[in-house]
Amino acid sequence: MKQAYFSFILMLSLFLPALIACRQEDTVAPTVAPTADPVQAEQESANTVSGDGDAVATAVSTNTPAPPTPTPLPAKRVTVMISAEPESLYIYGDNSLEATAVRHGIYENLFTSLGFDYQAQGLEKLPSLADGDAVINTVSVSAGDIVLNASGDPVRLAPGVQIITADGEFLTFSNEESVEMQQMVVDFTLKPLVWSDGVPVTAVDSLFSFNVAADSLTPGDKTKIKRTASYEAVGDLSIRWTGVPGFLDGTYFLNVWQPLPEHQLSRFSVAELLEAEEVTKRPLSSGPFVVSEWESGKHITLTVNPYYYRLDEGLPRLGAVTFQFGMDADQNLDALLAGQVDILTESNFRENQDEIVPQLLENEADGAIAAYYQPITVFEHIDFGINSAEEYAETRPDWFEDVRVRQAMTGCTDRQRMVDELMYGKVGVLHAYVPDLHPLYPDDAFMQTFDPAAANVLLDEAGLVDTDGDGIREWIETEQGQIVATTPFSITLGTDSENALRQRINEMFAVDMQACGIHVELYDIPVIDWYADGPFSPLFGRRFDLATFAWLTNVRPPCNLYLSRNVTGPEEQGFGGWGNVNATGWSDEAYDTACELALKALPGTPDYVISHQDAIRIFSEQLPVIPLFPQMKIAVTRPTVLNFKPDATQPSALWNLFEIDVEE
């Protein structure tokens, strides 16, 4: 769990979630989507229909209507600078931000993830339980069927397997004739997309894509397909996803696979698809543009798909888009200022933001550019060592158990100054593990403001006072009303040695704490040691006073980061294991209840909203960490570029390439 977060954070890979799938045999079968069998996946053929309850989906026949009459194409064009040449345009190949940007012009987005939410684009709508195109059925399962066990793993049902029944009860299976479980069924409808060769896109193309993604030779995470009972084409444009019994997926409305042209690609084996130019270099397009030229090391040029289904709406606005690469990074902005480039995507500004932003601000003030600053889903925070490892806890007073101390230290922290100086005021201060603009953020959540005077009052109330006038508060021990010992409120704050931003955060924090009578010593250690698992790790071994690092937030608020069951430590002592995520040691029963309910609830239900908001309210008041601010991404265009709309939770700024325009 923890490793997945840090691989994302450390690499800053802001990609759409990879399409996920299960194993099938090497040759692509265009009309059959098998149930994934985690037990025998290495032996079974994708097209085998077994008698053990495995579901098999078959496609219905489709009719090919006449393609639309091509309309006159717009002549306007833009040049986009991306930081590197894509290795491949195959949807199951190169998942870099650069390849994703180009693919936005080639494949119609089935959905988008704007504003910490999801929206349909190439789908008629996102399915929902409320609308009835997603349902939860009660089904009977018996020994040998693939089900989700109580731990969330797909297994064959057998004696000793613990499951959750349709009534929500835990049951250890003991060869009963049958047991009832819940099963989710979700229906999707494609919009009338058309491939760039004039052949309509059909549900069979999505089924074909599923089968390709499912094969073990196809790169990508197979988690979702291992939890798929069947994936069916049930109409020309209609697709049905059925989960394995027990799998109630919180993102069920995204369980649809980007179509691939079955009529063109079914002659290739899965292994051949990884290299075939028909998908890697010159794929058929279902989106607004098609690849017309790829000059290696220099550029890729897209021109209008003459069969794009939205041509009659005047889309796309542009006649051509050229993706340029191969230029030195320090020349990119000069090229835009010289009019050689129209758009610099966020991939050009991953590093050295502190050096480039002042220049962007100057150019922006002169009217030479339009700069776009968006928060990303990586957020910085300072964790309190609330419940430290026993050996470490014995070395110091229990500074942070009192919520008043945590609130006071947050109130002593000038987070807006951090944002202004470190992020140039382009993002907002955080008050929880999601930003205030998140749709689930409650209006009445507690917000600890910067107020050193009020913070000092809280510290006084908590019994931390300066008894000797040296400017540092003390922890006071008394016997019979008399002071017998004092310990200066002197603490340490650590981070990894390879992150200059966090080192600067810590320096600013230490200065802020002086106004509240708290002395802070700073340290940093190599990143590999800082984030290590195990009892001797300073961070996840819970051997710190304060620690600065980053986590991911998302559309679904990550309340799980602070659950009691996720506190790091030995499982035999009731902790969550050394590979877990809650390094603070904080444990709150009310928070646990709200978060667990939120994690079990499905989006669109009242419980989902209420429980997530309850968890956020508790967290923002209890403050097991000091939420600081999100990191940001930057993109730049010439002032003449229109409809450029980068978004915090949409990985690529070119998600709406179909409507980007330029002034003539």
CB atoms within 10 A of CB 65: 11
- Domains of the chain, residue spans: 2-63+118-265, 77-110+268-375+632-662, 376-629
| Contact between residue 495 and residue 530 where contact means Cβ atoms under 8 Å apart | yes
User: Are 138 and 177 a contacting pair, CB within 8 Å?
Assistant: no
Token pair in block for residue 446: 């507690």
Check pLDDT > 60 for residue 26: no
Q: Where does the pLDDT of residue 69 fall: very low under 50, low under 70, confident under 90, or very high at 90 and above?
A: low
| Whole-number Cα distances in Å, 61 to 498, 499, 563 | 57, 56, 49
Angle at which helices 500-514 and 415-422 pack, to 10 degrees?
140
Average pLDDT (592-613) is 97
Q: What is the pLDDT of residues 343-374, one digit of tens each?
A: 999 999 988 899 999 999 999 999 999 999 99
Tokens for 535, please give them.
């009892």
Three-state secondary structure call for residue 234: coil
| pLDDT score for 433 | 99
111 and 121 Cβ atoms separated by less than 8 Å = yes
pLDDT level of residue 35 (50, 70, 90 thresholds): very low
Sign of the Cα pseudo-torsion (84, 86, 87, 91, in order): positive
Task: Report the predicted TM-score, pTM, of the whole model to 2 decimal places.
Answer: 0.88
Q: Where are the alpha helices (DSSP H) in 215-276?
A: 223-226, 262-265, 270-273
- Whole-angstrom Cα distance, residue 445 to residue 116? 18
- The predicted pLDDT at position 6 comes to 53
**Separation in Å, CA 110 to CA 99, 313, 478:** 17, 18, 66
**pLDDT above 70: percentage of residues in the chain:** 89
Question: What integer is the mean pLDDT of 239-264?
Answer: 98
Mean pLDDT across the chain: 90
- Statement: residue 640 has pLDDT above 50: yes
Instruction: Give the side-chain half-sphere CA count within 13 A for 181.
Output: 27
Question: Six-digit token pair at 243?
Answer: 């989960």
Q: Give me the residues paired with residue 450 across strands.
A: none
635's enclosing H/E stretch is: strand 625-637
* CATH architecture for residues 77-110+268-375+632-662: 3-Layer(aba) Sandwich (3.40)
Assigned CATH for 376-629: 3.10.105.10
With beta carbons less than 8 A apart as the criterion, state whether 547 and 383 touch: yes
How far, in Å, CA of 250 to CA of 604, rounded?
A: 10
Q: Are residues 200 and 9 in contact, defined by beta-carbon separation less than 8 angstroms?
A: no
Residue-wise pLDDT for 526-577, tens only, equals 999 999 998 999 999 999 999 999 999 999 999 999 999 999 999 999 999 9
Is the confidence at residue 23, as pLDDT, over 70? Answer: no
Q: Is 497 exposed, middle or buried (0-12, 13-18, 19+ CB in 10 A)?
A: middle
- Measured over the CA atoms of residue 598, residue 603, residue 608 and residue 612, the dihedral's sign is positive
Identity at 106, one-letter amino acid code: I
- Confidence at 72, pLDDT banded by 50, 70, 90: low
Type of residue found at 84: A
In the structure, what pLDDT confidence band is assigned to residue 176 with cuts at 50, 70 and 90?
confident
pLDDT score of 352: 85
CA distances 406 to 75, 451, 542, Å, are 60, 13, 17
- pLDDT for residue 47: 30
- Is the per-residue pLDDT at 17 higher than 50? no
In single-letter form, the type of residue at position 181 comes to: M
* pLDDT of 57 higher than 90: no
Integer Cα distance of 35 and 49 in angstroms: 9
Backbone angles phi, psi at 181, to 5 degrees: -135, 170
Contacts of 638 (CB under 8 A, 6+ apart): 336, 339, 341, 342, 343, 369, 370
Residue 73: pLDDT band (50, 70, 90) is low
- Please say whether the beta carbons of 272 and 218 come within 8 A: no
Please give the pLDDT value at position 71. Answer: 53
pLDDT at 177: 84
**CATH topology (fold) of 2-63+118-265:** Dipeptide-binding Protein; domain 1 (3.90.76)
Are the C-beta atoms of 483 and 467 separated by less than 8 Å?
A: yes
Which one-letter amino acid corresponds to residue 462? A
* CA gap 173, 561 in Å, rounded: 31
Report the C-alpha gap between 325 and 297 in whole angstroms.
7
**Checking DSSP bridges between strand 546-552 and strand 519-525, what pairing results, if any?**
unpaired
Straight-line distance from the first to the last Cα atom of the chain, in angstroms, rounded to the nearest whole number: 50
Q: What is the mean pLDDT of residues 412-421?
A: 99
